[in-house]
Amino acid sequence: MEDEAQPLALVVGGGSGIGAALADALRAQGTTTVTWDIAGTHDVTCDVTEPDEIDEAVGVTRMRWGVPTSVTVTVGVGHAGMLVDAAPEDFDRIMRVNARGPWLCMRAWVGAMRDQAIAGSFVAVSSVSARLVDRNMGLYCASKAALSMLVEVAAAEWGPLGLRVNAVAPGVTRTAMLGPSASVEGSPWLAGVADRTALGRLGEADDIAQAIIALHSMEWVTGQVVECDGGLSLRSPIDSYGEMQRMRAGPGDKKG
Q: Is 29 contained in some domain?
A: yes
pLDDT (tens digit, 9 = 90+) per residue, 93-146? 999 999 999 999 999 999 999 999 999 999 999 999 999 888 889 999 999 999
Judge contact between 126 and 151, C-beta under 8 A: yes
Of the given ranges (36-40, 225-229, 230-234), which has the lowest mean pLDDT? 230-234
* Per-residue pLDDT at 163: 98
Number of other CB atoms surrounding residue 69 within 10 Å: 20
Q: Is 162 contained in some domain?
A: yes
pLDDT (tens digit, 9 = 90+) per residue, 27-69? 999 999 999 999 999 999 999 999 999 999 999 999 999 999 9
Q: Is 109 contained in some domain?
A: yes
Is a pLDDT exceeding 80 seen at residue 72? yes
Q: Is 235 contained in some domain?
A: yes
CATH value at residue 213? 3.40.50.720
241 classed as catalytic: no
Q: Is 94 contained in some domain?
A: yes
Count Cα neighbours of 9 within 13 Å in the Cβ-side half-sphere.
25
Q: From the candidates 65, 122, 140, 158, give the one annotated as an active-site residue.
A: 140
Q: Is 2 contained in some domain?
A: no
Residue 46 belongs to domain spanning: 8-249
Q: What is the mean pLDDT of the chain?
A: 90
- pLDDT category, 249, cuts 50, 70, 90? confident
Q: Is 84 contained in some domain?
A: yes
Q: Is 1 contained in some domain?
A: no
- What proportion of the chain, given as a percentage, has pLDDT over 90? 71
